[in-house]
Structure 1
Amino acid sequence: MTKTTFKKLESEWYNYHHTLKEISKLREEIMNPYQEEEMNHEGGQSNLPGQPTERIATRLTTSKQLNYLNEIVDAVERVYNALPDNYKKVARLRYWNKNGKLKWEGIALETGMSERQARRWRNEIIQATGEVLGWR
């Protein structure tokens, strides 16, 4: 895995909760678009299905941004849920700590392992995420 890919995947772990909020906001925008968007002022036929439910379903399934964000969230969740509890603790402390990003020495103290071991586990977590996504 390239260094750039590793950093990108790690940033997705850091931004996991933000991404969940972004997905929710995007879904809301798709499901409740502005009224002006719904109206066809030019008088021609729209290429969207005539039924509002079908239009919403089409927008939800064809939104590249929504699909991409869902793919990222699904990968993070799949990897996290498959981790042993001690790996999960490292992931939570490193990426989802409410008090800010812990340094490796803090994670080592919290988990009772060496900094080197904690970093190795982080590498395995990020590598697994890349494999789930099919990134190299």
Structure 2
Amino acid sequence: MQKVKLPKNIVRYVEHNLYYYHEYLRDIERLRKDILYGRDNNDENIGGGRGNLPSSPTEQRAIELVTHRRLEKLERVTHAIKTVYEALPDEKRKLIKLKYWTRPQRYTWDGIAEQLCVTRITCLRWRNEIVYAIAELLGETDA
């Protein structure tokens, strides 16, 4: 149960990530494929001495997969969303689908509440609980 109200910027950040969850999953796959198969070697060491990276292309790709900042951030965010989503009961999962994953957005909070047979206030309370749980997993809460 949520004890602390999150700052608006954290709520917006988490909701933004919820809206783009499926795009992030596609980005993760694309980045992994780019690292493993698709890109030319970006070695800028022209002349000079030996670099400090392993010379094996397989080792270089493994290091890049582990150290790629955008990939790591996307994986962390999608993992937090997936973890919270999978722990939710069906009606709260439906709220996420209706509010964040339905394109184009068809429903207001009142429309979502009607679809779920609950009040608008209940929907907003559920949303706050979900956003808080995701923010907590991302380390965005002070608790």
TM-score normalised to structure 1 length: 0.91
SS in 1 for 2:54: coil
Hey, what's the Cα distance between the residues in 2 that align with 1:33 and 1:89? 37
**CA offset digits 1:49-91 (Å, max 9, x no partner):** 1111111000000111111110000000000000011111111
Runs of 4+ in 1 over 4 A off after TM superposition: none
Hey, what's the Cα distance between the residues in 1 that align with 2:44 and 2:82? 39
Equivalent pairs, count:
136
Evaluate the alpha carbon distance shift between residue 7 and residue 42 of structure 1 in structure 2; reply closer, same or farther with a 3 A threshold.
same
Structure 2 unaligned blocks of 5 or more: 1-5
Structure 1 unaligned blocks of 5 or more: none
Q: What's the counterpart of residue 97 of structure 2?
A: 92
Evaluate the alpha carbon distance shift between residue 53 and residue 88 of structure 1 in structure 2; reply closer, same or farther with a 3 A threshold.
same
Task: Select the structure that is richer in helix.
Answer: 1
Evaluate the alpha carbon distance shift between residue 70 and residue 78 of structure 1 in structure 2; reply closer, same or farther with a 3 A threshold.
same
TM-score normalised to structure 2 length: 0.87
Kindly provide the amino acid, as one letter, of the partner of residue 50 in structure 1.
Answer: S
Hey, what's the Cα distance between the residues in 1 that align with 2:106 and 2:31? 27
Task: Give aligned-pair identity as a percent.
Answer: 36
Hey, what's the Cα distance between the residues in 2 that align with 1:79 and 1:109? 24
Matched-pair contact (CA < 8 Å) for 1:95–1:101: no
Choose the corresponding residue for 1:5, options 6, 10, 26. 10
Q: How does 1:31-110 map to 2 (within 5 A)?
A: 31-37=36-42, 41-42=46-47, 44-100=49-105, 102-110=107-115
How far apart are 1:38 and its partner, in Å? 5.2
